[in-house]
C-alpha cells in the first residue's frame, strides 16, 4: 500500500507519502514506535490504519495533540505547536523554575570564545543540557541562534559558556507558552529570508548563516549555522547563505510536488545585501567571485530557469537577523512576532 509512494528517511524519522488514483494524498510519519497518519484521503487513511492494526499492536489516540514532546492545539486562528510541557520539565530538572526572567536569550554583541582561562564545567552535564535545548528549537526559532552559539563549545565547556546556557533558560522562563501559529491564507507563497553575520565568530572569524522559510506566510523551516570556511567579504558570506536558502527552497518544492501541490511561480529569496544580489545576476564578475564559483553558478542557473527571484529587502525588514546575531530587546521581539510566533495564552 505504501510501496508505490514516496519515502524519505533521516535518522530515526521516516516519511511516507502515498498517492491515490483519485488525487488523494496520505502521509505516514514514523519515529521509532510513534506514528502520525494524515492526509486528505479518508478511505486510504482508514485502510492504512487497518493494515497497521493487522500487523502490529497499535492504539489510536484520535486527533493529534501531543507527539514527541510537541504539543498541538487548534483555535479559530489556526494550528498552534509548542513545547510548553517540555520547557517546564527542563526548568524543573535544572532548578530554574523560580529563576529571574530575561527578555532575550543571548546578549547583544556577545563575544563568546573558547575562554581557556575560565573554570571548566562538567562536560557531560553541559552536553546533555545543550542537547535538550537543540531539540527545543524544533518549535522555538527564537532560541536557534543562541543554541547554535552555545553548542560550539560542547567539546570543552567553561563557566562563561554555562552562564550563556543558563541565560537561555532564564529567557524560556519568561516565555513558556511561545510557539508557532500556522494560519490559513488565501494564497500559497513560497519565500525564504537569508542573512549572514560577517566574521561574527570570536573563535575563528567565520560567518554565521541563517534562513527562515515561509509557506503561505507561515514559518515552516529555519536554521542558524556557522559557515564551514572563512569568508573574505560580507558579500561572499551572504552569497553562501543565499546558496543554503536556495537549497532549502528546492527541498520544500519537492515535498510540495510529492503532496501534489504544483508550483509555477518563482520562489522568492529575500536578501539585504545588494552586492550579493548583483553577483548572482552578473556573470562578468568572475575575478571577484572565484572563491564562491560553484555557489554562483548554482544560484545563477536557478535564476535563469525562473525557479527563484531575488528581491531586495531593507535590513530593517530582514527577518533572518534573529538567526545570525544577538539583537537588542526591541528588535528581537519585533522579529519574533514577524516570524509568526505567539504565546499560547494569547490565543482565543
d(CA 155, CA 174): 29
The confidence score (pLDDT) of residue 323 equals: 94
Domains and CATH numbers, the chain: 6-62 (no CATH), 81-178 (no CATH), 186-329 (3.30.420.10)
d(CA 257, CA 267): 14
Model confidence at 82, pLDDT cuts 50, 70, 90, reads very high
Percentage of residues in the chain with pLDDT exceeding 70?
A: 91
67 phi, psi to nearest 5 deg: -150, 110
Percentage of residues in the chain with pLDDT exceeding 90?
A: 43
Least confident of 9-13, 65-69, 160-164, 230-234: 9-13
pLDDT in tens, 221-270: 999 999 988 888 787 888 889 889 999 999 998 888 888 887 778 999 99
Model confidence at 277, pLDDT cuts 50, 70, 90, reads confident
The confidence score (pLDDT) of residue 3 equals: 42
Chain mean pLDDT for the chain: 86
Average pLDDT over residues 9-36: 75
Q: Contact 82/139 with Cβ under 8 angstroms?
A: yes
d(CA 322, CA 307): 27
**Predicted confidence (pLDDT) at residue 10 exceeds the cutoff of 70:** no
H helices of 1-115, in order, are 42-55, 84-93
Average pLDDT over residues 181-188: 82
Model confidence at 21, pLDDT cuts 50, 70, 90, reads low
The alpha carbon of residue 33 and the mean position of all alpha carbons in its chain are separated, in whole angstroms, by: 25
- Residue 52: CB partners within 8 Å, gap ≥ 6? 35, 58
d(CA 185, CA 200): 37
Can you list the pairs that 297-304 forms with residues at least 24 positions away whose Cβ atoms lie under 8 Å? 298/243, 298/246, 299/239, 299/242, 299/243, 299/246, 302/246, 302/250
Higher pLDDT, 81 or 31: 81
d(CA 249, CA 232): 26
pLDDT in tens, 281-321: 775 554 455 556 677 778 888 888 888 898 999 988 899 99
The confidence score (pLDDT) of residue 201 equals: 83
pLDDT in tens, 120-143: 999 999 999 999 999 999 999 999
Q: Which three cell numbers stand for residue 69?
A: 514532546
**Predicted confidence (pLDDT) at residue 41 exceeds the cutoff of 90:** no
Average pLDDT over residues 273-277: 83
**Predicted confidence (pLDDT) at residue 1 exceeds the cutoff of 50:** no
- Residue 306: CB partners within 8 Å, gap ≥ 6? 266
Higher pLDDT, 177 or 133: 133
Amino acid at each position: 500500500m505504501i510501496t508505490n509512494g514516496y519515502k524519505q528517511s533521516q535518522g530515526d524519522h521516516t516519511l511516507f507519502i502515498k498517492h491515490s488514483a483519485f488525487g488523494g494524498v496520505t502521509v505516514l510519519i514514523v519515529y521509532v514506535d510513534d506514528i502520525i497518519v494524515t492526509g486528505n484521503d479518508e478511505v486510504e487513511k482508514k485502510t492504512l490504519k487497518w493494515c497497521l492494526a493487522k500487523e502490529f499492536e497499535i492504539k489510536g489516540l484520535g486527533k493529534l495533540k501531543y507527539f514527541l514532546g510537541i504539543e498541538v492545539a487548534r483555535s479559530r486562528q489556526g494550528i498552534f505547536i509548542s513545547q510548553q510541557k517540555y520547557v517546564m520539565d527542563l526548568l524543573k530538572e535544572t532548578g530554574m523554575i523560580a529563576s529571574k526572567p530575561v527578555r532575550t536569550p543571548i546578549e547583544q554583541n556577545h563575544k563568546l570564545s573558547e575562554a581557556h582561562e575560565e573554570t571548566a564545567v562538567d562536560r557531560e552535564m553541559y552536553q546533555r543540557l545543550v542537547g535538550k535545548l537543540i531539540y527545543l528549537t524544533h518549535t522555538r526559532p527564537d532560541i536557534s541562534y543562541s543554541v547554535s552559539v552555545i553548542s560550539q563549545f560542547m567539546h570543552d565547556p567553561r563557566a562563561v559558556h554555562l552562564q550563556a546556557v543558563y541565560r537561555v533558560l532564564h529567557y524560556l522562563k519568561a516565555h513558556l507558552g511561545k510557539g508557532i501559529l500556522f494560519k490559513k491564507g488565501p494564497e500559497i507563497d513560497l519565500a525564504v529570508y537569508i542573512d549572514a553575520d560577517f566574521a561574527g565568530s570570536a573563535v575563528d572569524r567565520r560567518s554565521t548563516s541563517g534562513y527562515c522559510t515561509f509557506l503561505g506566510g507561515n514559518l515552516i523551516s529555519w536554521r542558524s549555522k556557522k559557515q564551514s570556511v572563512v569568508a573574505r567579504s560580507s558579500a561572499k558570506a551572504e552569497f553562501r547563505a543565499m546558496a543554503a536558502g536556495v537549497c532549502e527552497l528546492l527541498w520544500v518544492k519537492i515535498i510540495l510536488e510529492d503532496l501534489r501541490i504544483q508550483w509555477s511561480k518563482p520562489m522568492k529569496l529575500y536578501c539585504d545585501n545588494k552586492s550579493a544580489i548583483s553577483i548572482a545576476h552578473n556573470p562578468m564578475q568572475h575575478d571577484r567571485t572565484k572563491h564562491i564559483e560553484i555557489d554562483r553558478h548554482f544560484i545563477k542557473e536557478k535564476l535563469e530557469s525562473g525557479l527563484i527571484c531575488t528581491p531586495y529587502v531593507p535590513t530593517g525588514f530582514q527577518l533572518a537577523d534573529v538567526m545570525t546575531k544577538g539583537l537588542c530587546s526591541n528588535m528581537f521581539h519585533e522579529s519574533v512576532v514577524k516570524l509568526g510566533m505567539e504565546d499560547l495564552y494569547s490565543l482565543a
